[in-house]
């Protein structure tokens, strides 16, 4: 929690602080894009709706035109039909009385005809029949004389030798209303001679009613108009509606011309004039909505990615800043992840480490097997200790260093273990400090052990200096005497004799000093005891291991079973073993040595009965061996190859071994390095 909180706030902060300009620019661009998209869709929609509206209007108009043409046809046919009906009245030379009966029947069938008249060729009225459906229209004006319209119609009829019409005119009625009437004149032929006229007065409104079919009259308002648009007669429903579709069709009748006009009222155009448009619109809206959702989703995803990137960057910065090495391995032991600190620690690059299996490049070769075993144990499910364990890794240059490894199983989001995560601390510095304090302690012990030797050396140098100084004095004095100007020869000889005597005495004295040292060493013979070889090793191993860890050397000891105890000066032999072990480890302290192991081995020597049983000690290193020049001087006192060495170690070792009746030998080790070997007498079995 504590880790996450700063991560979140940090990420949002950085995004706000670091990316203000691109953020707003991209927002602006996105908004613009969205605006354009919405505009385009709206435009498309509007165009579609508009086009659909136009299309629909055109459709309506076209139907109207068709209908009006049909209506004109109907009306024309109707007129012809009536003309034929009227013609039929004259069949079989009717008398006026019989004609009136037929004509009345005819008028009864045709309610659009107000009156039928039979006139002779001079337009004199022979007979007439009025419609029974309404009050006689012409009563009050009388039709004895020929109305002008009739005259016109008949003139036309005579001229055409066929039926003809006159222009319509308005007849006012008794009830105050009135109607438009059109006269029709049918010439009657008797052979080739004009026999008379049949005059029919049409009420134009009723013509419309009778001539046209119901559906047409129901849907449209139909009217006759004059050429200038004056409405003469109207029939059909008039509907409310804002849009009016109008179609006009000229109807040419012999003698006159009428215009048939049809009006269609439409309601205000629907927003979505038809299903297709509605569907299209709905789909467009759905499209925009989906796009919107998609955009929102994308933005959310983008934001999530951004946050993820921030968190990742934060994690990376965290990992990079760590001094703790991090390493992840999969279940097969392949390295799958390393952080920079780990790379720096071992000196390999991440590329060299990633994917590396066992043995890992940073495992010291001498420990590879041990580490593999450890890994196997780990992978069989034995969790490593929580507080970590210590191990030794190798840098790329071959140097070893101790690490503290804290390992934990790596469990993925599905809860399945995919490997191991390790945190590694380079504890060489810590180890060095420990080592220093331990080394200090050790040095103190060593100093205490060596104190007697140092004192002895100091004492010896003083004891030897005295006689040497005396000898030097006498010798120089003697020379001075001999060089001085000649005197009494006998006196000088006496003086010189005294001096030489003294010189001899002092030489003997110096010899005595040396002998006393020898005696001291010899006295150590008295302290020889029987010691088990393992006890000797146990005594020095703590000190050896201390240095071994420092130099990354693996120390092995082998004590052959049944090896007898040895008769020796325990302290001295321990010193010899310690000395040889140290020399061996120091010989391997070079980056060039990959395999650093030191083998201390003890075994009983096969004896051939006569000689005493002996126990052989050998110390084998894997170092660079000893060059021939060095070999010659190896045991010389004060010869050393170490900068801080005194050159007494091996020479003392040899002295000690020789005092024990053995000899210190060395040989080349296989495949490399050196083996130092010495044998000590086995203790007498009591």
CA 6 from centre of chain: 22
48 near another protein (CB under 8 A): no
Q: Please, what is the minimum distance in Å from the beta carbon of residue 446 to another protein?
A: 20
Please name the residue ranges forming H helices in 161-274.
204-211, 214-219
Q: Please, what is the minimum distance in Å from the beta carbon of residue 479 to another protein?
A: 8
Residues touching another protein: how many (CB under 8 A)?
Answer: 31
**Cβ distance to another protein smaller for residue 419 or 467:** 467
> Taking contact as CB under 8 A, which single stretch among the options 97-105, 462-470, 515-523, 616-624 is the one that binds another protein?
462-470
User: Where do we find the tokens 């134009």?
Assistant: 204
377 near another protein (CB under 8 A): no
Instruction: Please give the DSSP secondary-structure letter assigned to residue 561.
Output: T
**Token output for 41:** 């869709």
Q: Please, what is the minimum distance in Å from the beta carbon of residue 506 to another protein?
A: 6
590 near another protein (CB under 8 A): no
Q: Please, what is the minimum distance in Å from the beta carbon of residue 495 to another protein?
A: 7
Residues in 380-399 at the binding interface with another protein, rule: CB under 8 A? none
Q: Cα dihedral sign for 92, 97, 103, 105?
A: negative
**Cβ distance to another protein smaller for residue 461 or 663:** 461
Q: Please, what is the minimum distance in Å from the beta carbon of residue 476 to another protein?
A: 2
Q: What is the DSSP string of 117-171?
A: EEEETT--EEEEEE-TTS--TTTTT--SSPPHHHHHHHHHHHHHTS-EE---EEE
> Taking contact as CB under 8 A, which single stretch among the options 17-25, 40-48, 468-476, 548-556 is the one that binds another protein?
468-476
Maximal C-alpha separation, the chain: 226
> Taking contact as CB under 8 A, which single stretch among the options 123-131, 374-382, 430-438, 496-504 is the one that binds another protein?
496-504
495 near another protein (CB under 8 A): yes
Q: Please, what is the minimum distance in Å from the beta carbon of residue 520 to another protein?
A: 20
513 near another protein (CB under 8 A): no
* Contact with another protein (CB under 8 A) among 71, 150, 499, 652: 499
475 near another protein (CB under 8 A): yes
Q: Is 674 exposed, middle or buried (0-12, 13-18, 19+ CB in 10 A)?
A: buried
Count of residues making up the chain: 686
478 near another protein (CB under 8 A): yes
* Contact with another protein (CB under 8 A) among 161, 452, 466, 516: 466
> Taking contact as CB under 8 A, which single stretch among the options 212-220, 476-484, 549-557, 656-664 is the one that binds another protein?
476-484
For residues 626-649, b (16+ Cβ closer than 10 Å) or e, as one string? Answer: beeeeeeebeeeeebeeeeeeebb
Q: Give the Cα separation of 195 and 571 in Å (integer).
A: 178
DSSP-based three-state secondary structure for 681: strand
516 near another protein (CB under 8 A): no
CB 76 within 8 A of CB 56: no
509 near another protein (CB under 8 A): yes
CB 492 within 8 A of CB 479: no
Q: Give the Cα separation of 168 and 574 in Å (integer).
A: 155
505 near another protein (CB under 8 A): yes
605 near another protein (CB under 8 A): no
637 near another protein (CB under 8 A): no
CB 620 within 8 A of CB 553: no
* Contact with another protein (CB under 8 A) among 232, 471, 572, 679: 471
**Cβ distance to another protein smaller for residue 478 or 567:** 478
Q: Please, what is the minimum distance in Å from the beta carbon of residue 474 to another protein?
A: 5
> Taking contact as CB under 8 A, which single stretch among the options 57-65, 249-257, 484-492, 602-610 is the one that binds another protein?
484-492
Strands 221-225 and 193-203: unpaired
CA 583 from centre of chain: 58
Element at 335 (helix H, strand E)? strand 335-338
> Taking contact as CB under 8 A, which single stretch among the options 41-49, 288-296, 466-474, 518-526 is the one that binds another protein?
466-474
230 near another protein (CB under 8 A): no
CA 648 from centre of chain: 68
Provide the binding-site residues for another protein, judged by CB under 8 A. 458, 461-462, 465-481, 484, 487, 491-492, 495, 498-499, 502, 505-506, 509
């Amino acid at each position: 929690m504590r880790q996450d909180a700063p991560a979140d706030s940090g990420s949002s902060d950085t995004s706000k602080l670091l990316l203000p300009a691109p953020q707003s620019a991209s927002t602006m661009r996105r908004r613009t894009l969205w605006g354009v998209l919405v505009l385009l869709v709206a435009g498309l929609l509007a165009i579609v709706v508009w086009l659909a509206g136009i299309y629909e209007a055109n459709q309506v108009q076209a139907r109207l035109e068709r209908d009006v043409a049909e209506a004109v046809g109907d009306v024309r046919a109707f007129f012809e039909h009536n003309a034929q009906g009227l013609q039929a009245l004259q069949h079989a030379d009717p008398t006026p009385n019989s004609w009136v009966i037929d004509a009345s029947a005819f008028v009864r069938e045709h309610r659009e005809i107000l009156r039928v008249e039979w006139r002779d060729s001079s337009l004199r009225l022979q007979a007439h029949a009025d419609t029974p459906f309404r009050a006689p229209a012409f009563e009050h004006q009388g039709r004895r004389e020929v109305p002008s319209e009739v005259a016109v119609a008949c003139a036309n009829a005579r001229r055409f030798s066929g039926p003809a019409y006159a222009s319509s005119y308005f007849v006012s009625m008794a009830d105050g209303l009135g109607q438009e009437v059109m006269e029709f004149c049918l010439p009657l032929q008797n052979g080739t001679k004009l026999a008379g006229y049949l005059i029919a007065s049409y009420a134009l409104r009723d013509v419309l009613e009778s001539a046209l079919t119901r559906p047409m009259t129901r849907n449209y308002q139909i009217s006759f108009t004059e050429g200038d648009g004056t409405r003469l007669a109207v029939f059909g429903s008039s509907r409310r509606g804002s849009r009016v579709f109008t179609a006009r069709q000229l109807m040419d009748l012999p003698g006159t011309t009428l215009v048939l006009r049809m009006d269609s009222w439409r309601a205000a155009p629907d927003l979505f004039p038809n299903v297709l448009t509605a569907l299209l619109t709905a789909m467009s809206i759905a499209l925009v909505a989906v796009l919107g959702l998609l955009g929102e989703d994308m933005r959310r995803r983008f934001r999530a990615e951004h946050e993820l990137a921030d968190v990742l960057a934060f994690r990376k910065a965290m990992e990079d800043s760590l001094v703790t090495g991090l390493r992840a391995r999969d279940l097969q032991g392949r390295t799958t992840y390393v952080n920079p600190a780990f790379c720096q620690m071992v000196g390999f690059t991440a590329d060299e480490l990633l994917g590396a299996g066992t043995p890992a490049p940073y495992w010291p070769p001498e420990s590879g097997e041990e580490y593999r075993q450890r890994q196997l144990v780990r992978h069989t499910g034995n969790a490593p200790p929580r507080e970590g364990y210590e191990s030794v890794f190798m840098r790329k240059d071959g140097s070893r260093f101790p690490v503290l490894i804290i390992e934990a199983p790596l469990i993925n989001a599905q809860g399945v273990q995919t490997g191991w995560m390790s945190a590694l601390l380079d504890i060489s510095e810590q180890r060095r400090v420990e080592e220093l304090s331990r080394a200090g302690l050790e040095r103190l012990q060593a100093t205490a052990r060596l104190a007697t030797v140092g004192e002895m050396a100091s004492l010896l140098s003083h004891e030897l200096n005295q006689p040497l100084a005396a000898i030097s004095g006498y010798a120089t004095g003697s020379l001075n005497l001999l060089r001085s100007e000649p005197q009494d020869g006998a006196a000088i000889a006496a003086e010189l004799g005294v001096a030489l005597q003294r010189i001899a005495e002092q030489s003997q004295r110096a010899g005595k000093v040396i002998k006393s040292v020898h005696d001291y060493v010899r006295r150590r013979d008295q302290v020889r005891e029987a010691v088990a070889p393992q006890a000797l090793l146990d005594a020095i191993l703590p000190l050896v291991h201390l240095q071994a860890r420092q130099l990354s050397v693996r120390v092995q000891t082998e004590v052959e079973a049944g090896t007898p105890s040895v008769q020796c000066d325990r302290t001295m032999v321990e010193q010899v073993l310690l000395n040889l072990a140290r020399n061996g480890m120091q010989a391997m302290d070079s980056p060039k040595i990959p395999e650093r192991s030191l083998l201390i081995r003890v075994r009983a020597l096969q004896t051939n009965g006569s000689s005493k049983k002996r126990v052989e000690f050998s110390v084998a290193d894997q170092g660079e061996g000893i060059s021939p020049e060095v070999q010659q001087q190896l045991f010389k006192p004060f010869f050393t190859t170490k900068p801080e060495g005194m050159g007494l170690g091996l020479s003392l070792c040899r002295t000690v071994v020789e005092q024990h009746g053995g000899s210190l030998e060395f040989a080349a080790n296989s495949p490399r390095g050196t083996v130092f070997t010495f044998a000590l007498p086995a203790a007498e079995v009591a």
